[in-house]
């Protein structure tokens, strides 16, 4: 099996690779299921990576699992951002991929910004 069906890690980071190598297939499945469930339960709003960490009780392991689900096209960026509680910086909201959300994203891409309509 290859990525994203096996745990990802940061290239050049021995500790990241070591952590990925220690994840069993069963534990990886459990974490994918947990991340998917948390994001699904949050819809339609979605969750930031920080919120996923908080809700799961996991640190440094949930974001990589969300990225793997994103590469498998199960989780997508909602097109919206909200401020993180810890930093105050905006963070992407992640949602479960559905046809409705994909249609909304396509419509947003086709919408011409008002400035372009006015010639500004």
With a CB cutoff of 8 Å and minimum separation 6, the contacts of 13 are none
The tokens describing 3, both together, are: 């990525």
Mean pLDDT (the chain, rounded): 86
What integer pLDDT is reported at residue 106 of this predicted model?
67
Q: How large is the average pLDDT for residues 103-118? A: 58
What integer pLDDT is reported at residue 107 of this predicted model?
67
Domain chopping of the chain, boundaries? 14-113
So what's the architecture of 14-113 in CATH?
A: Orthogonal Bundle (1.10)
């Amino acid at each position: 099996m290859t990525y994203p069906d096996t745990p990802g890690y940061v290239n050049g980071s021995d500790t990241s690779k070591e952590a990925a190598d220690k994840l069993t297939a069963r534990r990886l499945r459990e974490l994918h299921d947990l991340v998917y469930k948390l994001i699904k339960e949050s819809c339609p709003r979605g969750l930031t990576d920080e919120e996923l960490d908080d809700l799961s009780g996991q640190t440094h392991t949930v974001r990589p699992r969300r990225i793997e689900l994103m590469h498998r096209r199960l989780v997508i960026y909602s097109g919206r951002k909200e401020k993180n509680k810890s930093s105050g910086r905006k963070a992407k909201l992640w949602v479960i991929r559905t046809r409705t959300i994909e249609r909304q994203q396509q419509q947003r891409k086709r919408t011409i910004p008002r400035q372009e309509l006015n010639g500004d």
